[in-house]
């Protein structure tokens, strides 16, 4: 028996199957990045139309990959929010239809809980008391985790999310969408001290974030920059990445100190960032903190993390009514 989960909150259609104890048996993603790149961002109508095209074949693919039939699935899960309504509806409708047809339970999963729990995948579990830093395209949050479903918000961004900051700055300096991985690539060749971009709320004890000042600072610097020069471009990227990641690492350490937790986790698309992973590894070792990072392919949107979160919930006896609606603003805490 296994859990089959669908993820369609934004522009990635994904399906995955995991065991009840959370071991991933199959995972597939149909990315639409190449399509949305033409528009410089995600176009909701285009995203939902592509979800419709991809979702059914993906279900067949993960079943084949896991060597299973629909009858082997114990429960069907899907992301029910947060995200784009028209996108969320495709995954949840399909999962509900499969649940009805197979007479099996349905589970609505919070996309952010998927990210949050992803570092515990790959035998890194069980989910234990810890501090989670979630850094994605739409969210930047510090959460105290006591157990599955028992979360306390410690701090969040007041404006842009970390991933949004990467993407907006990338767009300003002419890099393609999505900008985060592009800045990461360029930053490897640049000097992180070349430009002193702002670090918000770094003094004091605040666990809040703000990244909009960084965007403005880059905007003011732009007229002075010759971005055709590869060194200048790399230096700007390295300095932007340094400003964002320094704040993320320091606030995570501060949250651990304030709560006395010694286990910290980092998840969400930005946790792919190589500079962030290096900085976290070094800093946590120095602070005596145990760090759990999700595998890079489980950092950005995928259905593996949704299947894992659903499996955690299902083993606690949770299921969702078929009437459960999608919620574009679904809160985690
Ligand atoms: P949310 O999960 O908040 O709803 P989302 O699902 O769009 O938003 P994710 O898929 O978790 O977000 O992450 C996408 C974000 O991660 C994008 O902003 C992207 O630029 C960023 N990102 C991906 N890889 C990297 C990287 N290597 N360096 C920096 N940022 C990255
Ligand atoms: Fe996400
Ligand atoms: Mg995405």
User: Tens-of-pLDDT digits for all 333 residues of the chain?
Assistant: 899 999 999 999 999 999 999 999 999 999 998 899 888 888 999 999 999 999 999 999 999 999 999 999 999 999 999 999 999 999 999 999 999 999 999 999 999 999 999 999 998 989 999 999 999 999 999 999 999 999 999 999 999 999 999 999 999 999 998 899 999 999 999 999 999 999 998 888 999 999 999 999 999 999 999 999 999 999 999 999 999 999 999 999 999 999 999 999 999 999 999 999 999 999 999 999 999 999 999 999 999 999 999 999 999 999 999 999 999 999 999
Of 274, 50, 277, the closest CA to residue 183 belongs to 274
pLDDT confidence of residue 220: 96
E strand residue ranges, 20-178? 24-31, 73-81, 106-110, 130-135, 140-147, 150-156
State residue 249's pLDDT score. 98
pTM for this predicted structure: 0.97
CB of 139 shorter than 6 A to ligand 1: yes
How many CB atoms are closer than 10 A to CB 142? Answer: 26
Q: Is residue 48 lining ligand 1, measured as CB closer than 6 Å?
A: no
Q: 167 in ligand 1 pocket by Cβ < 6 Å?
A: yes
Phi (first) and psi of residue 304, to 5 degrees: -60, -45
294 CA → ligand 1 middle, Å: 13
How many A from CA of 298 to the centre of ligand 3? 12
Say yes or no: CB of residue 160 within 6 Å of ligand 1. Answer: no
What domains sit in the chain, N to C, each tagged with a CATH number?
A: 3-120+301-316 (3.30.420.40), 130-294 (3.30.420.40)
Ligand nearest to the CA of 180: 1
Q: Which of 79, 112, 137, 299 to mutate to test the pocket of ligand 1 (most atoms within 8 A of CB)?
A: 137
Determine whether the shortest distance from the Cβ of 119 to ligand 1 is under 6 A. Answer: no
Residue of 269, 41, 301 lying closest to 171 (CA atoms)? 41
ipTM of predicted assembly, 2 dp: 0.98
Tell how far CA 200 is from the center of its chain: 22
Q: What is the 180 CA–ligand 2 centroid distance (Å)?
A: 13
Q: Is 182 in the pocket of ligand 1 (CB under 6 A)?
A: no
In this prediction, residue 19 carries a pLDDT of 97
């Amino acid at each position: 028996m296994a859990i089959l989960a669908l993820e369609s909150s934004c522009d990635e259609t994904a399906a995955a199957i995991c065991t009840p104890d959370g071991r991933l048996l199959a995972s597939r993603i149909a990315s639409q990045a190449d399509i949305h790149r033409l528009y410089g961002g995600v176009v909701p109508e285009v995203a939902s139309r592509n979800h419709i095209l991809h979702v059914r074949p993906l279900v067949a693919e993960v079943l084949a990959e896991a060597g299973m039939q629909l009858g082997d699935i114990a429960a069907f899960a899907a992301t029910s929010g947060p995200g784009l309504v028209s996108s969320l509806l495709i995954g949840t409708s399909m999962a509900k239809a499969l649940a009805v047809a197979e007479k099996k339970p349905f589970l609505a999963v919070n996309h952010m809980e998927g990210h949050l729990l992803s570092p515990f995948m790959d035998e890194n579990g069980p989910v234990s008391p810890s501090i989670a830093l979630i850094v994605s395209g739409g969210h930047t949050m510090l959460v105290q985790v006591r157990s599955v479903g028992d979360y306390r918000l410690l701090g969040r961004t007041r404006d842009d999310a970390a991933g949004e900051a990467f993407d907006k700055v990338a767009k300003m300096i002419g890099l393609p969408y999505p900008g985060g991985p592009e800045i990461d690539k360029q930053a490897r060749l640049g000097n992180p001290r070349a430009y002193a971009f702002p670090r918000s709320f770094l003094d004091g004890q605040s666990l809040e974030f703000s990244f909009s000042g960084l965007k403005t600072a880059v905007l003011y610097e732009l007229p002075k920059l010759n971005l055709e020069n590869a060194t200048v471009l790399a230096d700007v990227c390295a300095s932007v990445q340094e400003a964002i990641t320094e704040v993320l690492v320091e606030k995570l350490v501060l949250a651990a100190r304030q709560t006395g937790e010694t286990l910290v986790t980092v998840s969400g698309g930005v946790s792919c960032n190589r500079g962030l992973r290096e900085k976290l590894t070094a800093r946590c070792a120095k602070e005596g903190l145990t760090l759990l990072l999700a595998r890079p392919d489980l950092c950005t949107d995928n259905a593996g993390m949704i299947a894992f979160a659903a499996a955690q919930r299902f083993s606690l006896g949770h299921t969702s009514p078929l009437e459960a609606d999608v919620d574009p603003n679904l809160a985690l805490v």
